[in-house]
Amino acid sequence: MNDSARPALHIPFDNSYGTLPERFYHRQSATPVKAPKLLAFNHALAADLGITTGTESEAAAVFGGNQVPDGADPLAQVYAGHQFGGFSPQLGDGRALLLGEVLDQNGQRFDIQLKGSGRTPFSRNGDGRAWLGPVLREYLLSEAFHALGVPTTRALAAVDTGERVQRETGLPGAVLTRVASSHIRVGTFQYFYARGDVEALNTLFDYTVNRHYPAAETPLDLLKAVIARQVALVVKWMSIGFIHGVMNTDNTSLSGETIDFGPAAFMDTYHPVTVYSSIDHQGRYSYDNQANIIAWNMAQFASSMVPLVENTDAAVKEFTAAVNAMPALIRSEWRRVFAQKIGITHVRDGDETLISDLLTRMAEGRADFTNTFRALSAGGTRDQFTDPARFDDWETGWRKRLQDEPEPEALMASVNPCVIPRNHRVEQMIQSAVAGDYAPFERLQKVLSRPYDTQPEAEDLTHPPLDSEVVQATFCGT
Ligand code: AMP
Ligand code: MG
């Protein structure tokens, strides 16, 4: 179809957040950019959301923030949050704007949000902008997560602004369009809790229940439902060797989706205390500690709902019990998911030891996380270990256990990805894009859309980094 025959860009907005009281947000438009150019557009996602694409220049104008589409109600949402354990009573969308919401074919509601769209009252010292690197990283990683089957926000569009943003050096500016089940965070509850605004807390509670957890009747119900989703999410991350890197309470979505791919990274060589984020000096958000941190974050969520319950003592008791149940929930979910990774359908006594033993040997043997698990069904596992005898020892007991499993190979191949967005590949992709070459971005996108399939033409993308390619640290990417 040529551009003149193409239907105009249309987003079927159906907005609800903007009907909440005005203290939930600041209504404003994006700051226009110099020369918006569409870098990427997710046609499949657009179709699911009933969005008609229009011409490239229309899409660039809308998703770069230069044109407010019909029906949009742009606003910056306010929230608070614990960042590395310290509480900030007011954060909010400092570089993002909610354009509005749409309903997909199943009637499920989604936020359409611009990220990198200019300053808001919540920008503090920030410029409200994003540079190309984090925009492409989030685009690629969030779509890869979707393909991996991990709950996540999605990416609809990436636009080059034609402007430079000043970081340590001048870098190309970009805007990401993010799609999320909502942007309600633990920090959204904390914001109103910190201000003692119980009326707003009640409104937020009702809104959240209605939008995400219609079966929940009480704050305790909501807490338990959110905990269940967070437990599943964090274990999913662990099962693919993922380290979120900045699990602040403002980056913990109540919908249970992965949100904010700032210093996000994947482990190559397995080690439980791996940290990549350049600012995480204490290892607060290390691979293994993610399980503890999510419980800590849920404790903050629970605290913020205490004023919603009449009998404070009873509420504190019940909420505490729900949070204290988390380690056991995480452990059992972890056991279930990691058992699948070694081909076991139903966990039995002894399986946890089998899993832990493999992980210990992997850490000692400097084994690659992704490739070791994949090789369990594809072959060549022992080659992943610096001392292959460390694997052989374990293999004997494992093979014996698998005799009772119907189809361990198929199970393992369905849960152990072949290809993940390895840090060095993501960094190389960003460097190429900054130099004007988007071929690595396109290629990674394509390959990562089928992470569980063996793709011989993409074999190079399954390799761990060479010593010279290892990414030592990742950055928040503002
Ligand atoms: P995040 O790193 O996404 O968790 O962001 C933490 C807080 O910093 C949020 O309130 C963001 O809106 C804000 N922020 C991050 N980068 C910028 C920026 N470039 N300009 C303004 N605010 C920002
Ligand atoms: Mg954030």
Residue pLDDT, tens place only, 414-424: 999 999 999 99
Residue 399, both tokens = 């093979």
Residue among 123, 127, 171 whose CB has most ligand 1 atoms within 8 A, to mutate:
123
- 305 within some domain: no
Structure tokens given for 455: 């793709």
Domain count for the chain: 2
Q: Is the CB of 121 under 6 A from ligand 1?
A: no
Q: How many Å apart are CA 368 and CA 199, to the nearest integer?
A: 51
Ligand 1 centroid, distance to 128 Cα (angstroms): 8
Among all ligands shown, which has an atom nearest to the Cα of 117?
Answer: 1
pLDDT per position as a tens digit, 417-446: 999 999 999 999 999 999 999 999 999 999
Domain end point (choices 180, 205, 228): 180
Confidence of residue 2 (pLDDT cuts 50, 70, 90): low
pLDDT digits (tens, 9 = 90+) for 50-92: 999 899 999 999 999 999 999 999 999 999 999 999 999 999 9
Q: Would you call 437 a catalytic residue per the annotation? A: no
Nearest ligand atom owner, CA of 476: 1
Task: State the Cα–Cα distance between residues 103 and 49, nearest whole angstrom.
Answer: 7
Q: Average pLDDT of 313-334?
A: 98
DSSP sequence for 26-41 = EE-PPPP-SS-EEEEE
Predicted pLDDT of residue 476? 77
**pLDDT attached to residue 5:** 63
pLDDT band at 475 (very low <50, low <70, confident <90, very high): confident
For residues 198-215, give the mean pLDDT. Answer: 98
**Cα distances (angstroms) measured from residue 124 to each of 91, 202, 451, 452:** 8, 28, 39, 42
Residue 360 belongs to domain spanning: 335-415
Angle at 323 between CA 213 and CA 271, to 5 degrees: 105
CB 288 within 8 A of CB 272: yes
Rounded Cα–Cα distance for residues 17 and 188 (Å):
13
Last residue of a domain, one of 119, 151, 180: 180
Question: Does residue 313 sit within a domain?
Answer: no
- Give the amino acid at 260: D
On whether residue 361 sits in a domain, the answer given is yes
CA of residue 115 to ligand 1 center, whole Å: 10
Residue 7 is predicted with a pLDDT of 80
Alpha helices in 84-154 (DSSP H): 132-148
| 307 phi, psi to nearest 5 deg | -65, -10
What count of other Cβ atoms lies within 10 Å of the Cβ of residue 8? 11
Q: Is 322 inside any structural domain?
A: no
Residue 90 placed within a domain: yes
Identify the band that residue 100 occupies on the pLDDT scale cut at 50, 70 and 90: very high
93 lines ligand 1 (CB under 6 A): yes
What is the rounded average pLDDT of the residues 326-341? 98
Closest CA to 46 of 94, 97, 10, 22: 10
Give residue-wise pLDDT tens across range 381-423: 999 999 999 999 999 999 999 999 999 999 999 999 999 999 9
Average pLDDT, integer, range 192-203: 98
Helix (H, G, I), strand (E, B) or coil at 284: coil
Structure confidence at residue 472 (pLDDT): 87
Instruction: Please give the distance, rounded to the nearest whole angstrom, from the Cα atom of residue 48 to the centre of ligand 1.
Output: 29
Q: Is the CB of 251 under 6 A from ligand 1?
A: yes
Cα of 363 from ligand 2 centre, angstroms: 31
Any ligand 1 atom below 6 A from CB of 464: no
DSSP 44-70: HHHHHTT-B---HHHHHHHHTTSSPPT
Q: What is the DSSP letter of 255?
A: T
Q: Tokens 């399986």 map to which residue?
A: 351
Could you tell me if 100 and 13 are in contact, meaning their C-beta atoms sit under 8 angstroms apart? Answer: yes
Residue with tokens 């393909």: 147
**pLDDT score of 360:** 97
pLDDT at residue number 3: 52
The answer to whether 322 and 391 are in contact (CB under 8 A) is no
Please state, in angstroms and rounded to a whole number, the distance separating the CA atoms of residues 358 and 397.
Answer: 11
Averaged pLDDT, 31-44:
98
Does residue 29 belong to any structural domain of this protein? yes
Q: For residue 292, what are the contacts with CB-CB under 8 A and spacing of at least 6?
A: none
Type of residue numbered 33: V
Average pLDDT over the chain reads: 96
Q: Using an 8 Å Cβ cutoff, are 94 and 126 in contact?
A: yes
Q: Is residue 259 part of a domain?
A: no
Final residue in a domain of this structure, among 160, 180, 200: 180
Is residue 47, in this structure, part of any structural domain at all?
yes
Helix (H) or strand (E) holding 231: helix 219-239
Given 250, 260, 268, 280, the catalytic residue? 250
Model confidence at 166, pLDDT cuts 50, 70, 90, reads very high
Q: Is 138 in the pocket of ligand 1 (CB under 6 A)?
A: no
**Residues 100/112, Cβ–Cβ less than 8 Å:** yes
Tokens of 289: 């500690």
Neighbours of 443 (CB within 10 A): 15
- Average pLDDT on 143-171 reads 97
